[in-house]
A and B are shown apart, each in its own frame.
Chain A
Amino acid sequence: MVDHALDRPLTVSTPVSDRMGRWVRLRQAMAAYALCTPAVVLMLALLVGPILAVMALSVTDYQLGAKSLAFIGLENYAEMFGDRVFWISLTNTMIYVAIVVPGSVLLGLGVALLIEAGDSGKTFYRAVFFLPVMATLIAMAIVWEFMLHPQFGLVNLLLKLVGIAPQNWLTDGDLALYVLATIGIWQAVGFNMVLFLAGIVSIPRFLYDAAEMDGVPSAWERFRLVTWPMLGPVTLFVVVITSIRSFQVFDTVHVLTKGGPNKATEVLLYSMYAEGFEFFRSGYAAAITVIFLVFVLLLTVVKTQLLDKKVHYQ
């Protein structure tokens, strides 16, 4: 719901002469600009500036620590698009996003619905599912490394108990990316759950009463008639946030696989890190960053331009 009262500017009619009025308006405008300045300066310096700097860097051959740099046009981009590793990296990132987003959104929603439907232990379940969000992912990744260790890892030990052959979770090229995606889901579910919980709580009770009077035959129909549509805005937000966050996957890759084996888990942000801070090719890394930013921007545009209108029922 939009508060329409705020759409109209506040107008105060004062019986001052026209010249006085202009002077007052000018002073007000000056004060307004003066008050905005710190925020604008900070925004330019901390948000817009770095992005422009990265864009500028991406058309140079700058190397970290080098004393000089030269403008090389779109050569970095040309090299990138011709590079097999970049395409592998992009594909891997896409696969990762395609698994983590639906997985963690649906699981988060499911967990939230279950918690909200229960009578007791709500706080306990909330806290438990939120733990992975609060914990540092780097530290958690190390724990996962132990758990997934081929010889003495907990996962393989458990599998052995039920008679399933142990796997080389992180060193098997066919498995590693999916293992990372699973960890990604594990980490994101709690955050999505909290957002969904907030959304569920804010659905007005009387809609469920109305649905009951209108004769919904089952819990599933009730979910479809009331819960799901009313969670539209939250779901959209959760999907966008989860997409952006899984685009940024880095910690687990860095700790667990370093992009291996044989580039099987090479992702966009890891390529950027490797190019920029291991091979010191800052210009090239900047070009990857620009591509990354384009994707994030694309997501945001899709959200605001297309989907927002569909989930806010005005």
Chain B
Amino acid sequence: MAGIDIDGITKNFGRTEVLRRVDLDIRAGEFMTLVGPSGCGKSTLLRIVAGLELQSSGSVRIADTPVDSLRPRDRDLAMVFQSYALYPHLTVGENIAVPLRMRRLKGHQRWPYLGAFMPGARGIERAIAAEVEAVAAMLDIGHLLARKPGQLSGGQRQRVALGRAMVRHPKAFLMDEPLSNLDAKLRVHMRAEIAQLHRRLGTTFIYVTHDQAEAMTMSDRIAVMMDGAVLQVASPDTVYNDPTDIRVAEFIGSPKINVLPAIVRPDGGLAVEDSVIPVEAAAPPGDPVKLAFRPEHALLADPAQAALRGRIAHVENLGSDILVHVRVGESGQPPLVVRTAPNGHRHEIGEKIGIDLSSRPPLLFGRDGKRIGVGAARRREVAHG
């Protein structure tokens, strides 16, 4: 178990800048998720930590020791790959044993056929076999040890890959989108299993994914990456409720956060479409800002009394929730989504409806996409603009 410090890492592939000065402190025993859209540099960052890729500048420290000049083998990390990367010609047991055999046996003891007769080899092989069996039992794949990876299902291969990573008790686990080749149901299941595994092992995990749901459900902290930079590092709760950047707000959460362009009015309110919302933005009057709110932080209301008015464009019934899509204004904005509990009321397409934002102050983002403060809102009756 060890903390990992990532310090000013940049990476260029030719002229393309993939990572721009990334700083990230991962605490010992933490489950840190790097999340972002594809091409944001998260996998490259992971590969740099692993030592599979060399950074252009910056430094990685594992347990306060710089590892920049060390080969992956000497960094004492284990990695689980998206494709599992199992050796197809070896059985499950042999696959899991590879990291141990590579480290504990000397070159001549690994010779095919003859190796087992070399002095000392027998004892080591026996110890390795015992450890492989223990790990396999822990992952519930003990009965598969003699099979080849080609005969396993995706979920089973996933477990074998985990076993191969776990067997060595590394300082940290690196996981590169390990669940994205599984079907949706199994993915949800393995999500819980990996989180449990982390709790049981207590080892540092760095987990890379493009799936914000995985990031939200498994992590201690999330690092949201975009365009080669880390935008925010915080707990799932904070990233969701208190994003510091409009791109973070838009990436995290499903359905997506609602965003409306607004103008700061001289009297302190915000002009949105044809309404004025009584929120005071920490921005000069006349500035264009973005107003954002989560679908569950708004209420459907009587159009006459609500801050925003529109017509229902689409209704999605999820059983536990109903997502009501409301088209506000004429400007071709994507419809706003409001999450409501099913209360027996049927929402008709085309129905006029209002959206009430007064239950919780909306999030405001400035011209540069950074979060700006919401002043003590002067709660007034809705003025018609």
Contact = CB atoms under 8 A, between A and B. Distances in A.
B87 interface: yes
B110 interface: yes
A217 B73 CA distance: 8
Interface in A203-234: 204, 206-207, 209-210, 212-218, 221, 225-226, 229-230, 232
Interface hub of B51, B83, B89 (most chain A Cβ within 10 A):
B89
B79 A216 contact: no
Given A213-B72, A217-B73, A204 B83 contact: yes
A216 B102 CA distance: 6
A213 B79 contact: yes
A251 to B, nearest CB: 38
A215 B103 contact: yes
A217 B85 contact: no
A213 B148 CA distance: 21
A212 B77 CA distance: 11
B106 to A, nearest CB: 9
Given A210-B81, A213-B52, A229 B99 contact: no
Contacts of A207: 85, 87
A218 to B, nearest CB: 8
B151 interface: yes
Given A207-B87, A209-B79, A209-B85, A215 B73 contact: yes
B131 to A, nearest CB: 14
A292 to B, nearest CB: 35
A212 B72 contact: yes
Interface string A78-114: 0000000000000000000000000000000000000
Contact of A213 (B78, B86, B88, B149): B78
B107 interface: yes
Interface in B129-180: 148-151, 164
B298 interface: no
B40 interface: no
Nearest to B86: A210
B367 interface: no
Contacts, number: 67
A229 B87 contact: yes
A226 B47 CA distance: 20
A313 interface: yes
A214 B107 contact: no
Contacts of B99: 213-215
Interface string B45-84: 0010011100000000000000000011100011101110
A258 to B, nearest CB: 45
B98 interface: yes
Interface residues of B, number: 29
Contact of A209 (B52, B102, B149): B52
Given A213-B77, A214-B102, A313 B164 contact: no
A68 interface: no
Nearest to A226: B87
A305 interface: no
A314 B85 contact: no
A249 to B, nearest CB: 33
Contacts of B151: 314
Nearest to B98: A214
A214 B164 contact: yes
Contacts of A204: 83, 85
Contacts of B88: 229-230, 313
A44 B150 CA distance: 39
Contact of B89 (A209, A213, A215, A229): A229
Nearest to B77: A213
A207 B98 CA distance: 12
A110 B136 CA distance: 38
B133 to A, nearest CB: 18
Interface in A297-314: 313-314
A226 B87 CA distance: 7
A225 B83 CA distance: 18
Contacts of A216: 73, 102
Interface hub of A207, A215, A218 (most chain B Cβ within 10 A):
A215
Given A213-B52, A213-B77, A215-B73, A314 B103 contact: no
A212 B102 CA distance: 10
A111 B148 CA distance: 31
Given A215-B73, A216-B73, A225 B87 contact: yes
A209 B98 contact: no
Interface hub of B72, B77, B86 (most chain A Cβ within 10 A):
B72
Contact of B50 (A1, A213, A221, A225): A213
Contacts of B52: 209, 212-213
Nearest to B149: A313
Contacts of A214: 98-99, 102, 164
Contact of B102 (A221, A229, A232, A314): A221
A224 to B, nearest CB: 8
Interface hub of B99, B151, B164 (most chain A Cβ within 10 A):
B99
Interface string B100-120: 001100010010000000000
B87 A206 contact: no
B107 A217 contact: yes
10 contacts: A210-B79, A212-B51, A213-B99, A216-B73, A221-B110, A226-B87, A229-B88, A314-B148, A314-B150, A314-B151
Question: What are the nearest 6 A-B pairs in CB distance?
Answer: A210-B85, A229-B89, A313-B88, A215-B73, A215-B102, A206-B85
